Structure 1
Amino acid sequence: MDLASWISIFMALIAVATAIVTYAVFRSATDPTVIVYAQPDLQRQSIVNLIVENIGKGAAHEVSFKSSRPLPEKAFSIPVPERTPDQMQSGPIVTGVPFLAPGQRLSISWGQYGGLYKYLGEDPIHIDTSYYRARANRLFKKKLRSSSILDIRIFQTSESTEHGYGPNLVKEMKTLNTTLKSFDKKLKNSNPEPPY
């Protein structure tokens, strides 16, 4: 083979590689990616929510979940309780999700640290999620997959940050207290006590 043939083969390989990279970039920009994770509730102190979220750019269709073992449900207890919480019997993790838009997230009140730790212990739960692209052709429908790990121990020493009702209530009470003191002072100044 002469030099021109080698150059032609090399250019064809570059074209194929470029097409593969372009397709991969296109897929990453349009495919859904569904993950499951635990997150403290910023409005309700000590509550941990279970979040199902589509962090991808495309909509997910027929989302189903398979966990390494059953998940707990309503595990509400700050200290580690004596009784183990019940297994999850309902909700999106059990029944699946028909459609999840890009950026959409489902939040489930999962429990508190003590109750969740009693159930999960030192053994994290692995969740495999499978789903389809929402507009995939039925003949060429490819199942997409992602994996998540739920480990409650990450919240063991984290600070419980108040972002919701607590600080707002304290702020309102301080304002009310200042207003009442001012009102009381004005009343005393306008109506002095008669001398005896």
Structure 2
Amino acid sequence: MDVLQTGGFVVNTLTMLVAIGSSAISYLVYKDSTSPDVIVYLEQNENSKTILNIVIKNIGKSAAADVKFSFDRALPRQAFDGDASSNMTDGAFIQAIPFFAPGTSRVFMFGNYAGIKDFIGNEKIKVTSTFRKANSRNPFSREMSNESYIEIQSMAYVDASDNSNSRKIAESLSKIEKALVKLKQ
């Protein structure tokens, strides 16, 4: 009888530990899926493929508050071929973002491939984003951080030809204008 009680106690203890473990894992998955997540990256400008933008995006499922950025080296305001302007002194990267809704982004024109390559070279710039969950009811909510990298190497040989509809419309209007001038003469 004593062996049965001990065996039952062990089984109940193991069952309790499994239940606690699965509850903890469920909580961590829930917490992770409802947190903000702010990233920074380079992308091609949709309207002018030779221009690269810096994008700040909240890819998380919750709003972020007091989003601040720090860099391992200063960023220029813009970096075009032969002209890396003065360091960035204002804007979201400097003054922060007070409230950043989920799925939203801030897009800033940064420069062209040659200008950014001259500035960054083969290195990468580490961007640390710090923020907290907006409207958190947890009095012990802590600040979160995320590291992103701005690098130009992966943009080498990316197609930057402009096949946009606006360019095609502009070319067509130019042809129409030339035809009308010929007709007028």
Q: Same fold (TM over 0.5)?
A: yes
Q: Counterpart in 1 of 2:80?
A: 76
- The change in CA–CA distance for 1:17 and 1:168 in structure 2 (over 3 A counts) is farther
- The change in CA–CA distance for 1:148 and 1:104 in structure 2 (over 3 A counts) is same
CA contact (8 A) 1:37 1:51 kept: yes
AA matched with 1:38: L
The answer to whether the aligner puts 1:146 opposite 2:150 as a matched pair is no
AA matched with 1:143: E
Pair member with larger Rg: 1
- The change in CA–CA distance for 1:51 and 1:60 in structure 2 (over 3 A counts) is same
Higher strand share: 2
Q: Counterpart in 2 of 1:54?
A: 58
What is the CA–CA distance in structure 2 between the aligned matches of 1:114 and 1:85, rounded to whole Å?
14
The answer to whether the aligner puts 1:40 opposite 2:44 as a matched pair is yes
Which of 2, 7, 14 is the equivalent residue of 2:11? 7
Q: Counterpart in 2 of 1:191?
A: none
The answer to whether the aligner puts 1:31 opposite 2:35 as a matched pair is yes
Structure 1 residue ranges, 4+ long, deviating more than 4 angstroms after superposition: 171-174
Cα deviations by residue, 1:96-126 (Å, 9 ceiling, x for unpaired): 1111100000000111111111111122100
- The change in CA–CA distance for 1:109 and 1:84 in structure 2 (over 3 A counts) is closer
CA contact (8 A) 2:74 2:87 kept: yes
The answer to whether the aligner puts 1:20 opposite 2:24 as a matched pair is yes
SS of alignment partner, residue 49 of structure 1: strand
Q: CA deviation at 1:160?
A: 0.7
Alignment of 1:87-98 (within 5 A): 87-98=87-98
Q: CA deviation at 1:138?
A: 6.5
Cα deviations by residue, 1:114-158 (Å, 9 ceiling, x for unpaired): 111111112210011110000124731211111101101222211
AA matched with 1:110: F
Q: Counterpart in 1 of 2:135?
A: 135
- TM-score normalized with structure 1 length: 0.81
What is the CA–CA distance in structure 2 between the aligned matches of 1:9 and 1:168, rounded to whole Å?
73
What is the CA–CA distance in structure 1 between the aligned matches of 2:26 and 2:143, rounded to whole Å?
21
AA matched with 2:157: T
Mind listing any 5+ residue stretches in structure 1 that lack a counterpart? 185-196
AA matched with 1:140: F
Cα deviations by residue, 1:38-83 (Å, 9 ceiling, x for unpaired): 0010112311000000000000000011111111212122xxx2x5
Identity of aligned residues (%): 24
